[in-house]
Amino acid sequence: MRPLGKLRALESGSEVQLQATSQTISLQNQTGAFQAPVVVQTNGLLVANYGLQNNSDTNIKANQQPTPLADLKTVFDAVEVKSYTRTDTPQPEDRIGFIAQEILTAGVLGPKLASMQENGLYGLDYSRLTCVLWGVCKQLEQRVAALEADD
């Protein structure tokens, strides 16, 4: 019988790999009828059935200061949403999203949102783009309030 997958720790001890070629990998800490909280599908999608959460506690964030709204607006203005076809998946799909290199060069915040990964490709932190949208919305809210005050 051919093995279904393998789990190995690299000699350096810095990485653990789980390999299951052409199989869905489910990470589950519950038994019974519960759906796995994290699933890596064969098409490369990572599905979190209960949500993703990053540590965001004030105790682990030094030098806290507001990000200038102008810097957030620079990213927002510089980057367009693109339609594209992914070529690195078993079944190419039409999608929409951003191009990491465009974000990277979109002002001083670009390197905080996009960077080169270990595989030599550029990656993008989509969750941090929420901060860009939040800042732009705050700026718009301030403009609307000022216009309404003039009435």
Residues 144 and 72 in one domain: yes
Number of folded domains in the chain?
2
For residue 55, the model assigns a pLDDT of: 86
Give per-residue pLDDT as tens, 93-125: 889 999 999 999 999 999 999 999 988 999 999
Q: What residue numbers bound the domain in which 133 lies?
A: 64-150
Partner residues linked to 26 by β-bridges: 39
Burial of 55 (0-12, 13-18, 19+ CB in 10 A): exposed
Residue 53 lies in a domain: no
Residues 44 and 70 in one domain: no
Contact residues for 33 (Cβ-Cβ < 8 A; gap 6+) = none
Q: What is the mean pLDDT of residues 47-62?
A: 85
pLDDT band with cut points at 50, 70 and 90 for residue 146: very high
pTM above 0.75, yes or no: no
